[in-house]
Chains A and B, each alone.
Chain A
Amino acid sequence: QQQVKQSPQSLIVQKGGISIINCAYENTAFDYFPWYQQFPGKGPALLIAIRPDVSEKKEGRFTISFNKSAKQFSLHIMDSQPGDSATYFCAPVGNQFYFGTGTSLTVIP
């Protein structure tokens, strides 16, 4: 059973636009919902994370929206920049740790 479904697989956004990546999960035991950013040839880095007691968290241009009833959380990148071009993974944590399939984001100048 696939525990985590991430979409879209790839995304192309114009500079200054909004990038939205979604993550749907099955396991209701997840209690920590992070997004990781990975550049080619590097390990992932924690970008932003949320706990289920809040519905939204914002850090600079990055926002997580969390919908507990729908078992979904999303990453919004405002004013997307070429430097944001990377692969993004959701990786909810509970009694186990699952990585989403990844979203390749390309921000074109």
Chain B
Amino acid sequence: GAVVSQHPSRVICKSGTSVKIECRSLDFQATTMFWYRQFPKQSLMLMATSNEGSKATYEQGVEKDKFLINHASLTLSTLTVTSAHPEDSSFYICSASPTGMDGYTFGSGTRLTVV
């Protein structure tokens, strides 16, 4: 089946530094990938839609300068949390659809802790 690989699974960084999270589709090409943020015991909140070869589309309220998204190839999207602060600590998850619609495959998530 379709696999989306996300790395790292956990990262701890100091306040003010930047962190990059990678999302790879291993056995299919993904022109579109999605990035979510999830707080404890809450649902997934869509942050942005990553489009291969073009700019990402951000949801309302998401700072595009803080959460930089790059989708340089059909199998890789990256999310960089710039100048991270403790309030950016969260669980970040990416997803993509092998068919371009309908059922989505999710990465295993990245637990970011900013100290």
Contact = CB atoms under 8 A, between A and B. Distances in A.
Interface of A: 32, 34, 36, 41-46, 49, 89, 91, 93, 97, 99-102, 104
A32 B102 contact: yes
Interface in B85-115: 91, 93, 95, 101-109, 111
Given A32-B103, A49-B102, A49-B103, A44 B44 contact: yes
Contacts, number: 47
**Interface size range of chain B in the complex:** 20 to 34
Given A32-B102, A93-B101, A93-B102, A43 B43 contact: no
Nearest to B41: A104
Interface string B2-15: 00101000000000
23 contacts: A34-B102, A34-B103, A34-B104, A41-B109, A41-B111, A43-B6, A43-B95, A43-B109, A44-B44, A44-B93, A45-B106, A46-B104, A46-B105, A49-B102, A49-B103, A89-B44, A93-B101, A97-B34, A99-B46, A101-B42, A102-B41, A102-B43, A104-B41
A102 B42 contact: yes
A44 B41 contact: no
A101 B107 contact: no
A89 B43 CA distance: 8
A96 to B, nearest CB: 9
